[in-house]
Amino acid sequence: MTVVTRIAPSPTGDPHVGTAYVGLFNYALAKRHGGRFVFRLEDTDRERYDADAEAAILAMFDWLGIRPDEGPEIGGPNGPYRQSERLEIYRTHVDALLEAGAAYRAFETAEELDAMRAEQKQRGLPLGYDGRGATVPREEQERRAAAGEPHVVRLRTPEAGETTFHDLLRGDVTIPNAEIKDPVLVKSDGFPTYHFANVVDDHAMEVTHVLRAEEWVTSTPIHALLYRAFGWSEPVFAHLPLLRNPDANKTKISKRKLDTSVASYRDQGILPEALLNFLATMGFHLPDGREVFSLDDFVAQFDPERITLGGPVFDLKKLRHLNAHYLREVLSVEELADRLEPRFEDAGYAWDDEDYLLDVIDVLRPRAETLQELVDAADYFFLPDDAFAIHPEARKKIAAGQQALEDLERSFSMLDFFDEDAVDELLDEYVRSREIKKPAVMMPLRAALTGTTNAPSVTDLAVILGRERVLRRIGRALGEMTAALPDDDPAAAEAAAEAAAKAAEEAARAKREAAIAKARADAAARRGEAAPEGADGA
């Protein structure tokens, strides 16, 4: 038997992490057994339909590297893969059920249904369709339908007894038939309902295993009745645990409490590998206990019977940790550079040589948990020496360390070699000879080189930036400090210092904006040059 699984999203908005989660598990099961993974778009709810969502969901799976074997874009033997293009198939199938008496046409108007519900409420009866249309003779149903009377088609379900289906993770699940109220199969607009289209398609697409979210458990008895009405064998069902908010009540994951949009995680610079790895640990762990593993490892070891049902928590901290681990230890610095370059270009950063880029990334990656954090922390490496911002905290450090900066400026310019050993030795020697504490030198120097107080080691910075830029930056920092303050009017002196700092920051900002605009224009031009000849239609 070929294992066939599917993901069947409804295109109703921003792709959700839950869809990625369920898709991943279905993909893994199919691939583990050399089977097929089908992508089917369940777009029959025309009210909630969102035209952009289809492309967005496909783009999400593409980004994650979960590629369907069959789907709307690539086709396949059992297409079309959009339900809105399969209406004829549903029509034939509903006819077969009507013919067999397993379904009937029901003509109650909205008002009648409201009145029915009101009465049920008043009499304290269970709510739901009471099966009143089931007794209308078939000929009458057909006559009224032919006359154009609006109606739905309902499944005829047993009143007594119970319906059981088997869930791979929960065992037998049984509900009393009294709770199943002749569900609608075809709506008055002619579109099938979720239940009907889902079963017809899973059968037509040869789906052998249905792994889906727990919230569908209550729908599955209806599906089981449908399979039985058609005389089809049922797929294996497994309802995956719902992902939970990290709150005390562990409520179902929701937009209000947590970011559930995959695109948003991508934009923040969560890596697809890390997100997949994270999702794969939701209710599952590898037999060998490893916490960090690739998609291939997951596929090779996936067994749905190992899924546990205790609500897995979507713990953002854990996701960020895992992402940091991929940034620092799993990806090579070259791979990381590939992912970062477009973001650097967007930020308006410019660089001449690839080695510089790799050095910068390597020194910053231990300090970032996401790609975007690394980009945000990297500005001073890419902006001109007089254009990056000097933050107030850094300005204070510079002010306090002016003497050290002046001394180091001189010593750095006299060094024979400007490499790691030489810089280290010089700094050590300086601290020793002046009998000062190391931070009293390092902090002002770091502040001068980066404009921040939170940056990598001073030696790394100095060596990556190179002597000329180090000297220019120290010069700039010292230049922005005001002259010695007059003793007699400290308040006025402070105001003057503040005004000078503001002016310096304004000047730097203007330079920064110009540099960013130029780098962006250059990047656009480079991309333009790289376009194939004649791309503009000339």
Which residues, in sequence order, are CB contacts of 202 under 8 Å at separation 6+? 6, 210, 235
Question: Among residues 86, 151, 154, 212, which is the contact residue for ligand GLU, using CB under 6 A?
Answer: 212
Question: Among residues 10, 141, 163, 193, which is the contact residue for ligand GLU, using CB under 6 A?
Answer: 10
Angle at 320 between CA 316 and CA 322, to 5 degrees: 115
What CA–CA distance (Å, rounded) separates 182 from 157?
Answer: 5
Choose one: 8-16, 108-116, 388-396, 412-420; the region binding ligand GLU (CB under 6 A): 8-16
Smallest separation, CB 283 to ligand GLU (Å): 16
β pairing state of 152-155 and 103-106: antiparallel
What CA–CA distance (Å, rounded) separates 463 from 363?
Answer: 11
Of 52 and 494, the one with the shorter C-beta distance to ligand GLU is: 52
Smallest separation, CB 346 to ligand GLU (Å): 33
Smallest separation, CB 18 to ligand GLU (Å): 8
Smallest separation, CB 266 to ligand GLU (Å): 21
Position 198 contacts ligand GLU (CB under 6 A): yes
Q: What is the DSSP string of 276-335?
A: HHHHHTSS---TT--SS--HHHHHHH--GGG---S--B--HHHHHHHHHHIIIIIS-HHH
Q: Which of 282, 280, 306 is nearest to 294 (CA)?
A: 280
Kindly identify the residues of this chain, within the stretch 215-274, that bind ligand GLU according to CB under 6 A.
Answer: 216
Choose one: 7-15, 84-92, 94-102, 182-190; the region binding ligand GLU (CB under 6 A): 7-15
What CA–CA distance (Å, rounded) separates 11 from 84?
Answer: 12
Kindly identify the residues of this chain, within the stretch 35-94, that bind ligand GLU according to CB under 6 A.
Answer: 42
Of 8 and 363, the one with the shorter C-beta distance to ligand GLU is: 8
Question: Among residues 3, 4, 9, 295, which is the contact residue for ligand GLU, using CB under 6 A?
Answer: 9
Position 195 contacts ligand GLU (CB under 6 A): no
What CA–CA distance (Å, rounded) separates 38 from 27?
Answer: 9
Smallest separation, CB 212 to ligand GLU (Å): 4
Smallest separation, CB 10 to ligand GLU (Å): 4
Q: Any idea which residues carry the catalytic annotation?
A: 255
Of 9 and 269, the one with the shorter C-beta distance to ligand GLU is: 9
CA distances from 438 to 47, 423, 465, 478 (A): 67, 14, 21, 20
CA distances from 35 to 2, 38, 62, 252, 346 (A): 5, 10, 19, 31, 41
Choose one: 5-13, 122-130, 323-331, 340-348; the region binding ligand GLU (CB under 6 A): 5-13
Position 191 contacts ligand GLU (CB under 6 A): no
Residue listed under structure tokens 């300090």: 367
Please give the residue ranges that form the binding site for ligand GLU (CB under 6 A).
8-10, 42, 198, 212, 216
